[in-house]
Amino acid sequence: MRGRHFAAILGATLLTCAFVWVRLQIVSISYDINELEKRERSTRDECSKLTLQINEAKSPQRLEHIARLKLGMHPPRPDQNIVLSLGLPLGAR
């Protein structure tokens, strides 16, 4: 009788330990998931900011501003325009 009582207590103790271990694993994995979700949000935000910076850097207004101020460029005068014909090659009329 005493052996059965000991086996029952031992079994209950092992089941309790297993239950507690499983719950601790669930909590640990939940923390890991939350941390990964934070990192994902942060990475998405950074990606959005970088995409915005790329779009701003490629904007025609910015490029024109740089061309005028830093490179000293300006639109051509009417006498500087050359019109090219994209039709027949020269002399093949």
Res 15: pLDDT = 96
Res 84: pLDDT = 81
pLDDT tens string 55-93: 999 999 999 999 999 999 988 898 888 888 777 666 555
Res 90: pLDDT = 62
pLDDT tens string 23-41: 999 999 999 999 999 999 9
What would the 3-class secondary structure string for 16-79 be? HHHHHHHHHHHHHHHHHHHHHHHHHHHHHHHHHHHHHHHHHHHCHHHHHHHHHHCCCCCCCCHH
